[in-house]
Amino acid sequence: MAARFQLEIVTPEGRVYQREVDMVVLPAADGELGIYPQHAPLMTLLGSGEIIARRGAEEDRILVTEGTAEVRADRVSVLTVFATNEAEVDEARAEEARRRAEERLKEKLSPEETALVQASLAHSLAQIKVKRRRKS
Amino acid sequence: MPSTRNIRRRIRSVRNTAQITRAMQMVAASKMRRAQEAAVNGRAYAEQSIILLAHAARSLEDFEHPLLEVRPTRRRAVIMITTDRGLCGGLNANLMREATRFDTDTTLFLAAGRKGAQFLARTKRRLVAEFTYSDRPTFAEALAMARTARQMFLEGEVDRVEVLYPRFVNTLTQKPEVRPLLPMKAMWEEALTGKAAEAARTEEGVHYLFEPDAKAVMAHLLQRLLIFQVLQYLQETKASEHSARMVAMKNATENAEQLIKDLTLTYNKIRQASITSEILDIAVAQMAIT
């Protein structure tokens, strides 16, 4: 039995994460899901939150907002529009993204666009929150 | 024989042209790098989405969704993505040749990019909508196209939507391609032929759990994929455009340089010939005197 599995995170900007991990916590739409190797095949919607990937003593935390995850016995693939590794969060950039999103929301937008801009806003807010929490 | 002054003038004019093409080459080269990166990086998302959908659809025997409905094709819409500007080699011409293969009576065209729109208007094809997109295609631009296409499909105005765009292969090669967009089932059925089909067959019998439910997951995937697939096509086009322009301008610069070389050679020959004949004249004159 494989003790580890592949975790990959794909966004429209490319494959942002690809690693062997021991377990992963996914922020599913209705609560967190802990995935260990040999999990039953599952497809789930993701909400806003952190993907926590454990590799031995290390762990990676990746912020995601909306998306889907496909869970298989030997791999987990996450498809999302917004994913940011917490180690790479840049508060100034997040602040800038938030400001842009808020401005866009004032314009007249189609429902789909509004949904995406709102997701983008939520994503930047999550980044800012993580940064603040780390500082304090 | 042309005079030396004429040749000098021509050399100067060719040199000016070379300067312009070289500048355009530089601009295209710097834009090309970014555009190529975006196009190549964006592929994973669409590919992964299609695989995911194919897996899900296999697991759900009788799943139905308006965007998946396959109907006999009476009328189709083609989204033709071209560039706004020329000077990019045969890129647009190749796309136009591809566009002429569609039956004029049963095909509605949507044009993205000015060159395509001009071509469709000129050849009196049925152009129903025109879109613009920027140098860095945005989500909003892709959304506008996807929304129009979806509306036409859902209202039964057309039974199939295809995209005609130049696929970016590498800097030297761009291939015009026609890919199905709607019904979205066609998207993965086509993608799953060949090698991917082999892998998919071994997947049979895998049944997924869905969280919160199959409908929500599929709806989310379909909606996102439709838009990002269009965005991906726009990015491919941009990568192709800048690559083609870079190569075209590089060739133009090299041609101009060759021309300058040839002209300089002719110029020197004429100059030497006139010097020789002048010396000859002087020598003859001198002989006549003595």
pTM: 0.86
* Whether the domain at B4-22+248-289 and the domain at B36-247 fall into the same CATH topology: no
Burial class (CB in 10 A: 0-12, 13-18, 19+), A25: middle
Question: CA dihedral in degrees (A93, A97, A102, A103; nearest 10)?
Answer: 100
Going by pLDDT thresholds of 50, 70 and 90, the confidence category of residue B194 is low
Whether B201 has a pLDDT exceeding 80, the answer reads no
DSSP state of A39: P
Domain ranges of chain A: 5-86, 90-135
- Which pair of tokens denotes residue B260? 């300058």
Give pLDDT, residue A32: 87
Average pLDDT of span B229-254: 93
Residues 6+ apart with CB under 8 A from B134: B141
Assess A122–B contact: CB distance below 8 Å, yes or no: no
Domain ranges of chain B: 4-22+248-289, 36-247
Question: Using the beta-carbon criterion (under 8 Å), do B45 and A41 form an inter-chain contact?
Answer: no
| CATH class of this structure's domain B36-247 | alpha beta
| Nearest-CA distance A46 → chain B (Å) | 9
Choosing among A79, A104, A109, which should be mutated to test the B contact, i.e. which has the most B CBs within 10 A? A79
Q: Which fold has domain A5-86?
A: ATP Synthase; domain 1 (2.60.15)
Q: Model confidence over B117-160: pLDDT tens digits?
A: 999 999 888 888 889 898 888 888 888 899 899 999 999 889 99
Q: Which residues of A touch B210 (CB under 8 A)?
A: 42-44
The whole-angstrom separation of Cα B211 and Cα B148 is: 30
Q: Model confidence over B250-271: pLDDT tens digits?
A: 999 999 999 999 999 999 999 9
Whether A1 has a pLDDT exceeding 80, the answer reads no
For A134, list phi and psi in degrees, rounded to 5: -65, -40
Residue among A85, A65, A66 nearest A7 (CA) = A85
For A64, the 3-state DSSP assignment is strand
Question: Using the beta-carbon criterion (under 8 Å), do B209 and A41 form an inter-chain contact?
Answer: yes
Assess A29–B contact: CB distance below 8 Å, yes or no: yes
The CATH number of B4-22+248-289, from 1.10.760, 1.10.3090, 1.20.1270, 1.10.287, is: 1.10.287
Whether B82 has a pLDDT exceeding 90, the answer reads yes
For B279, list phi and psi in degrees, rounded to 5: -60, -40
- Which pair of tokens denotes residue B272? 């030497």
Q: Model confidence over A53-110: pLDDT tens digits?
A: 988 888 888 888 888 898 988 889 999 888 888 777 777 888 888 888 888 888 877 7
Whether A2 has a pLDDT exceeding 60, the answer reads no
